[in-house]
Structure 1
Amino acid sequence: MTALLAALLLDSAFGEPRWLWSRLTHPAILMGRCVNWLDTRLNHAPHQKAKGIGALLLLILGAGGLGLALAALPGQIIDIGIAAILLAQRSLSDHVRAVAQGLYTSTGDGRAAVAMIVSRDTGAMDTPAVARSAIESAAENLSDGVVAPAFWFLILGLPGLLIYKAVNTADSMIGYRTPRHENFGWAAARFDDLLNLIPARLTAALIWLTRPRRGQWRGIIHDARLHRSPNAGWPEAAMARVLGVSLAGPRSYDGTLKDFAFVNPTGARNIGAQDIDNAVRTLWQTWALMVGLLLAGAILG
């Protein structure tokens, strides 16, 4: 627990300094290269689903084995350092804040900034659509990039953290229902859903606890169950309710409009840069609550 606290504090203070990662290859990029190597060599007919399961097992064994080897080294410096690198609180808040700063200048600048953090089409977005996209990304990545890695590091140490990040990276690269990856990426997508099952709901609870109101949690549960994702809807629904805004709704991917339901449909829809700033403040309030709970647990322990 003390190692996780130290890692969270280091990440919040330094994030991902350019001077370091311009000289070294980030571990997440190395994981991505491994996933791409497996995709290139194994993703072909026949038996693509079985090969995808095999690729996932290789990633899990490799990440877990590396984690065990590193954890066996004396002291906790390696554990703390790797955990700090693989947590993303500071970089997430910086990227989301950049969208607000862009919108304060112009809608076009906001679109350019949000295009860096979302995969949907951004060229025709108006200001509320840019703001919704940024806030949704903030909520979902708080779960995927901060709470879930911290959770698995706390439960299973460095092996758990590395396995989670490897699976999450695989899901982000091959876990899509496209002709190429629907079968091969099936296992990665489903296992990522499983690993995020508890963290997503934990993230929603932490967000809600920053500004709890009676009856609000019931609304979060209702909205989360309407979401297309079994996990992403939880932090999004909590963020929407806490901020009093409406999120999700129709959006375009690769030129095709997807008619998704709104999260917190009675919330404000004419939103902008100030609402993104409020979301960034909520990210840090949630982080502070998590750190406070861990500190209390360490003291009591």
Structure 2
Amino acid sequence: MALTAVAAVALAFVLEVVLAEPPASVHPVAWLGRTVAPFDREWAHPKVVGALVALVIPLVAAALVASLVALAGRVDRLLAAAIAGLALFTTTSLRMLLGEARAVVAATDGDLDAARERLESLAGRDASDLSAGEVRSAAVESAAENLADGLVAPLLAFAVGALVSLPVAAGAAAWVKGVNTLDSMLGYRSKPVGTASARLDDAVMWLPARLSAVLVAVAGLDLSALTRASEHADAPPSPNSGWPMATLAAVLGVRLAKPGVYDLPLGEEFPTVAESERGVRVVGVAGALSYALAAGVVAWS
């Protein structure tokens, strides 16, 4: 089973490098989003509905994926590995994240309005009044935060699940992606129906966020960045996102901030274009390390 699990991780990595993302029309996460969308409204008992949604939808997604891999395993082990790899690929995202972050950073050097517009889809914040440095800060922050959400968390879930079986591994990755998707769609203070999703995501992301910080420090060849980051990691409202963001700020020696929300003063100035580009590269190396780590764990299992 270890070899098939390693093959699944390797396939997910190759697909990430070659394809970046499946087309939206056939992306399972897009299907999941369409399933969740009808729940994004007012309810008479929003917290009860939200708790059911948070518990049921990720479990259904996990059960479907695990069942598909298990059925494939009855036919052929390589087929099961291929389907598990495809499933893992759909739960992760790195190349597109890095590409978008690089594009935003590059645009700040010549077309700030274009950079602001592109940032809105990357970081989900109003960028209309942000300076060039603040836009670059947001791009770097987003790359660090999404390393944890979009890559390390599902890879970690897959690796832990592989200690049990390949279907459980694929199902675990799908479950984590379901939890994260619900949080991204519903987990806002203005949406009571998303309270349970937000709390569950906070719990699920506790370890991946801190592991991502370690990977960023290793990728940046600066393990002491973890110590410096620890003094500021609790600045963001999220109990988790501050760890990879503050660690990357420490590696780069820059200030990262979301105006009116949090400030990570690991340097005096917002990142320059060159510093931001280095930050994106560090996240890319950390992402590659996370694949290697997942492969090593499943090989050991």
Paired with 1:266 and 1:207, the residues of 2 have a C-alpha distance of 15
**CA-to-partner distance for each residue in 1:202-236, whole Å, 9 max, x for gaps?**
00000011234464322211211233210000100
- Partner of 1:99: helix, strand, or coil? helix
**CA-to-partner distance for each residue in 1:108-143, whole Å, 9 max, x for gaps?**
222122122122111111111100110010000011
2:96 is matched with 91
1:59 is matched with 57
Within-5 A mapping of 1:87-166: 87-156=92-161, 157-166=169-178
Within-5 A mapping of 1:142-221: 142-156=147-161, 157-178=169-190, 181=191, 183-213=192-222, 215-221=224-230
Paired with 1:214 and 1:170, the residues of 2 have a C-alpha distance of 33
- Identity level (%): 32
Paired with 1:134 and 1:29, the residues of 2 have a C-alpha distance of 23
Query: Does the 8 Å contact 1:100/1:274 carry over to 2?
Result: no
Paired with 1:34 and 1:289, the residues of 2 have a C-alpha distance of 33
1:240 is matched with 249
Q: Cα–Cα, structure 1 residues 61 and 266, in superposed 2: closer, same or farther, change >3 Å?
A: closer
Aligned amino acid, residue 244 of structure 2: P
Say how many residue pairs are matched: 282
1:226 is matched with 235
Aligned amino acid, residue 89 of structure 1: L
1:34 is matched with 35
- In structure 1, stretches of 5+ residues that fail to align are 251-258
1:261 is matched with 262
Following TM superposition, where does structure 1 have runs of at least 4 consecutive aligned residues deviating by more than 6 angstroms?
none
Aligned amino acid, residue 43 of structure 2: H
Query: Does the 8 Å contact 1:99/1:273 carry over to 2?
Result: no
2:77 is matched with none
Q: Which is further off, 24-33 or 282-291?
A: 282-291
Q: Cα–Cα, structure 1 residues 60 and 215, in superposed 2: closer, same or farther, change >3 Å?
A: closer
Please report how far the alpha carbon of residue 201 of structure 1 lies from its aligned counterpart in structure 2 after TM superposition.
Answer: 0.3
Within-5 A mapping of 1:253-292: 259-263=260-264, 265-292=265-292
Q: Which is further off, 225-234 or 199-208?
A: 225-234
Query: Does the 8 Å contact 2:217/2:223 carry over to 1?
Result: no
1:254 is matched with none
Query: Does the 8 Å contact 2:9/2:295 carry over to 1?
Result: no
Aligned amino acid, residue 122 of structure 1: A
**CA-to-partner distance for each residue in 1:162-200, whole Å, 9 max, x for gaps?**
11111111111111001xx1x211110000111111000
Paired with 2:296 and 2:29, the residues of 1 have a C-alpha distance of 31
Query: Does the 8 Å contact 2:33/2:181 carry over to 1?
Result: yes
Paired with 2:293 and 2:300, the residues of 1 have a C-alpha distance of 10
- Partner of 1:145: helix, strand, or coil? helix
1:10 is matched with 15
**CA-to-partner distance for each residue in 1:28-63, whole Å, 9 max, x for gaps?**
1111111112335xx411x22111111222203311
Please report how far the alpha carbon of residue 296 of structure 1 lies from its aligned counterpart in structure 2 after TM superposition.
Answer: 4.7
- In structure 2, stretches of 5+ residues that fail to align are 74-79, 162-168
Q: How big is the alpha-carbon RMSD for the aligned residues of Structure 1 and Structure 2? A: 2.0
